[in-house]
Amino acid sequence: MTALERAIRHPEPVLGFADRSPVDGLDRRSVGFADVLAQSVSAVAPAAAATTIPLLIASAGGSPVWALASGMLIALLVASTVNQFTKRIAATGSLYTFVSRGLGRTASFVTGVALLVGYGFISMFALAGAGYYLQILLGDLWPASASTPLSAGVLIAVMAVVCAVVLARGIRVSTRVTLLVESVSVVIILVLVGALLYRNGPTVNWSVLSLAGTTPTTFAVGAALALTAFVGFESASTLGVEARRPFANIPRAIFRTVIVAGLLYLVASFSQVVGFAALGRGLSTSTSPVNDLAAAYGIGGLGLLLDVSIAASFLACAIASITALVRVLFSMGREGLLPSALGRTHDRYRTPFVAVVISVPVLTLSVVVTIALAGSVWRAMEILIVGAAGGYITAYTLACIAAPVFLHRIGELTVWSALRAAAAAVLLSVVLVVYLVSESTTDRYAGVWVFLAVMTVGIVFYLVRHLRRPWLRHAVGIYDVPVGADVLGAVNGFGTMNGHTVGETDAVRRGGKAAAGS
Amino acid sequence: MIADGSPVGLHARQPKAIHSALTVLEEVARCGAGVTARQISDNLALPRATAYRLLNVLVQDEYLVRMPDLRGFALGRKVVELANLVAPPAARPPEAVRAILDRLRGGIRGGIHLVRYEHDGLRVIDPDPDFPPSDRSVILARLEASAMGRLLVYERSRGAAPASVEAATTPASRATPGAAPTGHAGSRPRPFGEIAASGYASQIDGVTDGYGCIAIPIRDRAGHLVAGLCLCAPRERIERPDELVAMLQRGAEELAPLLA
């Protein structure tokens, strides 16, 4: 009889598995690959980014296609490094939990704050963006309706209510809604791109791809801006508990999100550059390039469709980003780092209900205040996106530093994974510095200061909280562990083994109790 | 789901990989729970990167689970499913058991089979030589169609039920809620609840038209289903089961201490 057969016939009692995971209460192992992919893709909001980021890069003096290609390369490096964690840890705290397993709690606090800033600011950005484009739509449909910051505020509040309901009703509802919305908007973008390239005719002027006139600085700024088009791809990792087969589905979803979004960006930016070159204009002379192109090529009717798709993409992005945000808050609530109420789940819907009910009004109020202070919705969005990008890239950098340390700790470090993580960490650090410095010289400088201020306040809050509660040192970084039912021969607190009474001595049973109770 | 249900494409290089994966499973079984990736790679003389990749693939497919410390590995419950598919034929039951079965077969007209329940599956360990039972794959494909399958389905739902419900149905059994992963399975109606009331499972026309069968559970002292005594006969005899059930139950009582 082989060892495997023996183990199956007479499972050795395995101690140390509890009946319930520390993140119990969520709808464990309930969503499949499509839902996990939807979470990441929606958080990236490729349709909205494909129409806005090429313009931003061109305005900064970079070459959109090349910048987006190098942004995609960095994003792939980061994704493969983050996946070293997602293949091994199923958590709701995403990078915050991962970094705690590599670099310890102080670095994980910084990551946690950065991640909350990233998810929080991008949610606010997306809510504001959805309101902005809905307002344009309403203005087109009923020219009489006044577009004031007040009406935008009302629209944003309505959409925040929609987000809260979808989020509270269960993870399947929110991922399905975002999947549908995001797919529709990507299809609309692809239709537009196809129409543009078709109208442009078979002769493509490849010289638009030349890098002449690009300096290393403008290239770096372009790459940094391009990376902001990808941020959010890691958010599938907040579904570590709720995903089925998380160690397979989450890494796959993260990787494919970068690929799908990257290809869409390359095609979209190429068609925009080619389209403007054929018109004899520069991309940066336009304020709304895809709308202008559509009008110039006689398909202006599609402009309306485009506004619908961007508004939808923003709404999906808001839902996905808040989904990720509340799960990080849930993790911190369970650990005691934040009030424990945030770690409570809804009995029936099995979602982090309290975190949703608290965070959605806070985010909505912050958006409205930001719009009031900035004077217009667009200005507010510019400030928010800078803060979000700063938060994400900071968190990615720390995760890439933490990955090799973590792998070394569990004895699974290999040369290639270390090299990829090191390359990603170096590139991300460069991108972060270049991005913040270059943004601080533009009229979006307020975003840089808001980001730095929020990060500082957040980190001080965590350090004070931690000084008052020294026991948190052992609580930080919870993740889903296999429960007894997943393990062949696991002994739980009842002294039973996978439903069969353990026939062994009392010592085994006591050992099981001790292990389950610890 | 896009990836979950996709057919597995087997490529030319994969047989080697499957061999390595099975070797890794075997090694985890040999070393016991808690063995680390590095130990496995050393023991099997596999390159580190290959061993880590294989381990992660096996964890992804849940044949292995990571221990809570993230360093060690243990066998997942899924290996049992694999084992039930390829398990070797079971040994014949002891002489004393066969003697009881022969006596029952002499007294009752119809196919009498002895079924063993183990590792969350079932296996006919002594089929009636004169009236062979349906093919095992037929029974396993639709457990709820046959009486012996219904006993297993009922037993699984019992394992997932909360202690209070279970104690009420089988006072002799110990509370065993260990198999309930989420703790809310008890709210669902249990399949084949009539088994609790009558003490046996039966079906008519489920497997073969015009025929039915009865399965009497044989339990150990802790109340776990270990075996089943099945009678397959034309439907008109199964429709009037009282006398047959009484005979079979007497036989099951004799068999219980020999099988449990």
Domain boundary among B84, B106, B136: B84
pLDDT of residue B176: 37
pLDDT of residue A407: 95
pLDDT of residue A297: 75
A99-105 average pLDDT score: 91
Kindly state whether residue A506 falls inside one of the protein's structural domains.
Answer: no
Kindly state whether residue B7 falls inside one of the protein's structural domains.
Answer: no
Pairing of strands B225-234, B211-219: antiparallel
Best B176, B187, B220, B224 member to test A by mutation, with max A CBs in 10 Å, is B176
Which run of H or E residues covers position B124?
A: strand B121-126
Q: What's the CA gap between A76 and A226, in Å, rounded?
A: 13
Q: What's the CA gap between A88 and B111, in Å, rounded?
A: 52
Conformational region of residue B70, where left means phi above 0, alpha means psi within -120 to 50, and beta covers everything else: left
Contact A448, A439 (CB under 8 A): yes
Comparing alpha-carbon positions, the chain A residue that sits nearest to B173 is: A501
Closest partner CB to A88 (pick from B61, B70, B119): B70
pLDDT tens per residue across span A13-40: 777 676 677 777 888 888 889 999 999 9
Q: Please say if the pLDDT value at position A344 is more than 90.
A: no
Kindly state whether residue B26 falls inside one of the protein's structural domains.
Answer: yes
Kindly state whether residue A358 falls inside one of the protein's structural domains.
Answer: yes
Contact A51, A309 (CB under 8 A): no
Assess whether B99 and B36 both reside in one domain.
no
Tokens encoding A208: 């638009």
ipTM value:
0.81
Assess whether B120 and B164 both reside in one domain.
yes
Closest partner CB to B176 (pick from A2, A483, A501): A501
Kindly state whether residue B233 falls inside one of the protein's structural domains.
Answer: yes
Q: Give A-chain residues touching B80 at CB under 8 angstroms.
A: 8, 488
Kindly state whether residue A272 falls inside one of the protein's structural domains.
Answer: yes
The answer to whether the Cβ–Cβ distance between B181 and A33 falls below 8 Å is no
Kindly state whether residue B102 falls inside one of the protein's structural domains.
Answer: yes
Contact A14, A489 (CB under 8 A): yes
Assess whether B33 and B96 both reside in one domain.
no
Which run of H or E residues covers position B233?
A: strand B225-234
Tokens encoding A36: 């996990």
Kindly state whether residue A80 falls inside one of the protein's structural domains.
Answer: yes
Assess whether B101 and B204 both reside in one domain.
yes
Q: Give B-chain residues touching A496 at CB under 8 angstroms.
A: 174, 176-178
Assess whether B46 and B100 both reside in one domain.
no
Helix A353-374, helix A105-141: angle, nearest 10: 60
* Long-range own/partner contacts, residues A448-457 (CB < 8 A, 24 or more apart): A448/A386, A448/A390, A450/A383, A450/A386, A450/A387, A451/A117, A451/A121, A451/A386, A451/A387, A451/A390, A451/A391, A452/A390, A454/A113, A454/A117, A454/A387, A455/A110, A455/A113, A455/A114, A455/A117, A455/A390, A455/A391, A455/A394
The total of structural domains in chain B comes to 2
- Portion 467-486 of A in contact with B at CB < 8 A: 481-486
Q: Give A-chain residues touching B224 at CB under 8 angstroms.
A: 500-501
The total of structural domains in chain A comes to 1
* Shortest Cα–Cα distance, B29 to chain A (Å): 5
Q: What percent of chain A has pLDDT over 70?
A: 89
* Shortest Cα–Cα distance, B90 to chain A (Å): 12
Kindly state whether residue B18 falls inside one of the protein's structural domains.
Answer: yes
pLDDT of residue A220: 84
Q: What's the CA gap between A92 and A231, in Å, rounded?
A: 18
Kindly state whether residue B3 falls inside one of the protein's structural domains.
Answer: no
Cα of first residue to Cα of last residue in chain B, in angstroms, is 43
Q: What is the mean pLDDT of chain A?
A: 84
A207-212 average pLDDT score: 71
Kindly state whether residue B4 falls inside one of the protein's structural domains.
Answer: no
The answer to whether the Cβ–Cβ distance between B75 and A482 falls below 8 Å is no
The answer to whether the Cβ–Cβ distance between A414 and B60 falls below 8 Å is no
Sequence-distant (≥ 6) Cβ neighbours of residue A20 within 8 angstroms:
A483, B183
Enter the pTM of the model. Answer: 0.75
Kindly state whether residue B5 falls inside one of the protein's structural domains.
Answer: no
Assess whether B27 and B78 both reside in one domain.
yes
Is the CB of residue A492 less than 8 Å away from at least one CB of chain B?
yes
Kindly state whether residue A478 falls inside one of the protein's structural domains.
Answer: yes
Q: What is the CATH number of the domain that holds B255?
A: 3.30.450.40
Kindly state whether residue A499 falls inside one of the protein's structural domains.
Answer: no
Pick the more confident residue, B42 or A6. Answer: B42
Q: What is the mean pLDDT of chain B?
A: 76
Assess whether B119 and B65 both reside in one domain.
no
- Model confidence at A360, in pLDDT bands (50, 70, 90)? very high
Q: What is the CATH number of the domain that holds B71?
A: 1.10.10.10
Give the range among A143-147, A205-209, A308-312 with minimum mean pLDDT. A143-147
Comparing alpha-carbon positions, the chain B residue that sits nearest to A6 is: B29
Assess whether B97 and B77 both reside in one domain.
no
The answer to whether the Cβ–Cβ distance between A33 and B79 falls below 8 Å is no
Helix A246-279, helix A289-296: angle, nearest 10: 50
Tokens encoding A163: 């987000």
- Model confidence at B85, in pLDDT bands (50, 70, 90)? low
Pairing of strands B64-66, A496-497: unpaired
Q: Please say if the pLDDT value at position A498 is more than 60.
A: no
Closest partner CB to A14 (pick from B33, B59, B119): B33
Structural domain of A395: 21-482
Q: What angle do CA A192, A194, A198 make, to 5 degrees?
A: 120
Which run of H or E residues covers position B81?
A: helix B78-86
Q: What's the CA gap between A191 and A206, in Å, rounded?
A: 22
Residues forming beta bridges with residue A500, ordered by sequence position: A497
Assess whether B98 and B226 both reside in one domain.
yes
Assess whether B105 and B65 both reside in one domain.
no
Q: What's the CA gap between B104 and B126, in Å, rounded?
A: 13
Give the range among A134-143, B137-146, B248-257 with minimum mean pLDDT. B137-146
The answer to whether the Cβ–Cβ distance between B224 and A501 falls below 8 Å is yes
Assess whether B69 and B99 both reside in one domain.
no
pLDDT of residue A514: 35
Comparing alpha-carbon positions, the chain B residue that sits nearest to A176 is: B1
Tokens encoding A413: 């470090």
* Shortest Cα–Cα distance, B221 to chain A (Å): 11
Q: What angle do CA A333, A338, A341 make, to 5 degrees?
A: 50
pLDDT tens per residue across span B89-141: 556 778 888 888 888 888 888 888 988 887 677 888 888 888 888 777 677 77
Q: Please say if the pLDDT value at position A494 is more than 70.
A: no
Domain boundary among B67, B84, B101: B84
Comparing alpha-carbon positions, the chain B residue that sits nearest to A3 is: B30
* Shortest Cα–Cα distance, A181 to chain B (Å): 18
Assess whether B75 and B57 both reside in one domain.
yes
Q: What is the CATH number of the domain that holds A235?
A: 1.20.1740.10
Structural domain of B61: 14-84
pLDDT of residue A194: 83
pLDDT of residue A502: 35
Domain boundary among B84, B119, B145: B84
Pick the more confident residue, A238 or A306. Answer: A238
